Copies of this chain bind each other. A is one copy, B any other.
Amino acid sequence: MPTTRVAVCQYAIDIDDPAGTLKRLRASVAEAAEAEPQVIVLPELCTSGYVFHDIAEAQSRAEPVDGPTVQLFRELSFKHHAIVVGGFCERSDGDRPFNSAAVVENGEVLVVYRKTHLWGTEKLIFTAGDEPAPVVNTSVGKIAVMICYDAEFPEMVGSVARRGAQLVLAPSNWPALKLPPPPGERAPEVVKAQAFAAVNRVFTVVADRIGSERGVDWIGGSVICNVWGYPMAGPANGDALVLWADLDLNQAFTKAVGVQNNSFEDRRPELY
């Protein structure tokens, strides 16, 4: 069976050190490239950082789709013959930027998605997108992209799965929890990524970040889940690292469970 190698780059992002952030991004992608992945997933806001002081600062870091971050994705996709997915602060026509992610293959921007569920102070900084999470055709199969908190809504993952997504990618910045999980427990974000993979029989991939930023710490919990919701790589535990796994994306075509059941056909939306 042909498999697709998917890599996640988890590195330290620092809004006050753009050059260092870019250096660590490039080093992480170079490390990932050694495994010759067909898909490379980067975090949310992967060049700018996350903890903006205010709208003005976010606007000052916002870029158009033909700006340097997506240009970098294009360069990396050419160089490593890989689909590159990552988040960036996208300039808008309005007074606030979008928290966006791009899917780039072979130097071509296949889609740009604008985060629709804003977390915390993002609501004070960004404009929320108004379009559903996209499902795009790529050389490896149908890929959906959503961003961080988006992927905590089961209907979001269900929606892209029912539109044919095999691989659901979520560039993320998971802030550390005020109350850390009890010993031996995974962060709820990880548990949700596992569960929604299993519910929809899709692969879910979260690219998280590390690096203390203006007093905010991060889980650094990147994970690659298979269609049964089991981690194939990760969950990471706060370290800078590359995760990768070989995924048989055809498994996501099968929604049957045994002879009698089917994850999609068994749904009864009229009752919900």
Contacts and interface: CB of A to CB of B under 8 A. Distances in A.
A194 to B, nearest CB: 5
Interface string A132-158: 110000000000000001001111101
Contact of A261 (B119, B192, B266, B271): B119
Contacts of A198: 188, 191-192
Given A116-B271, A159-B272, A260-B120, A154 B199 contact: yes
Nearest to A131: B271
Interface string A95-139: 000000000000000000000111111111000001111000000
A86 interface: no
Contacts of A121: 260
A89 to B, nearest CB: 19
Nearest to A199: B154
A94 interface: no
Interface residues of A, number: 47
Contacts of A230: 181-182, 185, 188
Given A188-B228, A191-B191, 4 more contacts: A185-B230, A185-B231, A188-B198, A192-B199
B117 A188 contact: no
A118 B267 CA distance: 10
Contacts of A116: 268, 271
B261 A132 contact: no
A269 interface: yes
Nearest to A258: B120
Nearest to A122: B260
